[in-house]
A and B are shown apart, each in its own frame.
Chain A
Amino acid sequence: MEAEIKEKIVSMEKPHMEAPPDWQPVIMGILCNWCSYAGSDLTGTSRIQYPPNIRIIRVPCSSRVDPWFIIKSLQTIADGVLISGCHPGDCHYISGNYYARRRFLVTKKLLNFVGFHENRVQFSWVSAAEGAKFAKVVTKVTEDIRKLGPLHLYKKENS
């Protein structure tokens, strides 16, 4: 059996910081109750596999997501954030995701401007019927974050 040569993973933002050998990315998933959360449920009941790196929080609507949640996640345990809501026009509250979309764009650009790689924070529209899409999105985001390495920016210290 050939010895597996693993490439060393470094932090994208701080190339001198190296990831520990058994590092696994942690992704904070914030899902809307009506579409994406039901979609993720469908992924499970359809027995589609997706990476276990995501930690899911359920919110009433993607518009409930304060940019604060994203910043707070990135500063504590998360290496990346995925926010998912209903497709435009499908919002349970009629227009919540349209408002959210504006906020997401500004938040993403601002975080990128101060030094976070743009793939650290990602958004998706996943409906309740798109179990397969949810698995695909989570796989893609996990792989993106895995490439970026651990996040070492403005982390809160607890030791």
Chain B
Amino acid sequence: MKLTTYSTDQAGLQAFYEAIIRAHDTYGPVEKFGKFDFKKVNSLSECDPESPIPRTMSVKPLFFPKSAKVMKYTATSAGTELSDTAEDPLAGKRVILGVKHCDARGLQVLDAVYKWDYIDTDYEKRRENTILISPRCDQAATHCFCTSLDYDLETLDAVDVAVINGADRKIYLQARTEKGETFLKENATGLTSANGSAEAEMKKQYETFAASFRLKMNYQEINERMQGQFDSPTFEEVPSSCVSCNTCAFVCPTCHCFKISDEKIRDKGVRYKSYDSCNNVYFTLMAGGHNPRPVKYRRWRQRAMHKFVYYKERFGVNLCIGCGKCTTSCPVNISIFEVVTKVASSMQE
């Protein structure tokens, strides 16, 4: 496969970003309260596309917002009238700068569930209209373990345009998808064509990156062992310090559970779709009062098994992408890596 590649230097890259921000609806990682979150930007100085991992939030909220309007309704004497909400503010053509590969990979994993039996048109539209531009990681953060999971990060096509740091301060911009190729060709003003020359640099960068990982697991083995671990007593021990908040699911790039709620004043109301989390006590509470997962370890078991076993069984990809956001944001730093490896290694003979 021949990939369109351009080369430039640091100043050229800045100019490239600035041109994009001027011409397109652009989002980028913006610092808020000391943490990075993806927000709309009007100039390059507002955001830092190179900002390091771990960031608090992934790009997920730009595709699956924390709260989105589903429909509106009005109660009249004749009955209830339903109507569509106004146009989706996130569905237009847009570019997201500074996306990390784990974020982009998360979207790829989410596609499987969103394009399954029911196609979520909002999500579909947002995905189609978005160009993801991603600087490659040089250095793994404390809780990262993305290289250990069952995909080849080296040849990953989750982003549209990859930004690769080469030798002699050279920077390569490489289109990784068709969408990205069209976009890059349209915006190539000031860039030098350098087809075929980035591969070696990319490999080198990937090697240093892969060597910086502290956490490594044998995914195939973990996945196989976990399948028989539903009744493992280790699940009762390991997450005992969990405080049952929803943080892990809300910051996770691949968690996709949601709840439906109404906001109503007088006779008019809006129906919202908002994030939900399986670590929440009420997540499985049924009408009538039965709750199949009333205790913490059962909820944690669901979370770990869904991330490492069930999703893979159903869609063929692992739901956890190893970005470590949940561990970083957790109030008590429970590491999903630690839980999963402990459970897998506790298999009884």
Does A153 make an interface contact (CB < 8 A)? no
**A156 to B, closest residue via Cβ:** B263
Please report whether the interface of chain A is mostly helix, strand, loop or mixed according to DSSP: loop
CA–CA, A156 and B67, complex, Å: 13
**A77 to B, closest residue via Cβ:** B265
Name the one of B72, B265, B270 contacting A76, with C-beta atoms under 8 angstroms. B265
**A155 to B, closest residue via Cβ:** B265
Q: How many A-B residue pairs have CB under 8 A?
A: 17
Does A158 make an interface contact (CB < 8 A)? yes
CA–CA, A77 and B270, complex, Å: 16
Range, interface on chain B: under 10
The answer to whether A159 touches B263, judged by C-beta atoms less than 8 angstroms apart, is: no
Q: What B residues does A157 contact at CB under 8 A?
A: 263, 270
Q: Which chain B residues numbered 263 to 287 have a C-beta less than 8 Å away from chain A?
A: 263-266, 268-270
Q: For residue B263, give the distance in angstroms from its CB to the closest CB of chain A.
A: 5
Q: Which chain A residues numbered 104 to 159 have a C-beta less than 8 Å away from chain B?
A: 156-159
Q: What A residues does B72 contact at CB under 8 A?
A: 159
**B263 to A, closest residue via Cβ:** A156
Q: Which residues of A are in contact with B by a Cβ distance under 8 Å?
A: 76-77, 156-159
Q: Which residues of B are in contact with A by a Cβ distance under 8 Å?
A: 72, 263-266, 268-270
12 chain-A/chain-B pairs, Cβ below 8 angstroms: A77-B265, A77-B266, A156-B263, A157-B263, A157-B270, A158-B263, A158-B264, A158-B268, A158-B269, A158-B270, A159-B72, A159-B270
With A156-B263, A158-B266, A159-B268 given, can you name 8 additional A-B contacts, CB distance below 8 Å? A77-B266, A156-B265, A157-B263, A158-B263, A158-B265, A158-B270, A159-B72, A159-B270
Closest 10 A/B residue pairs (Cβ): A158-B265, A158-B268, A76-B265, A156-B263, A158-B269, A159-B268, A158-B270, A157-B270, A156-B265, A158-B264
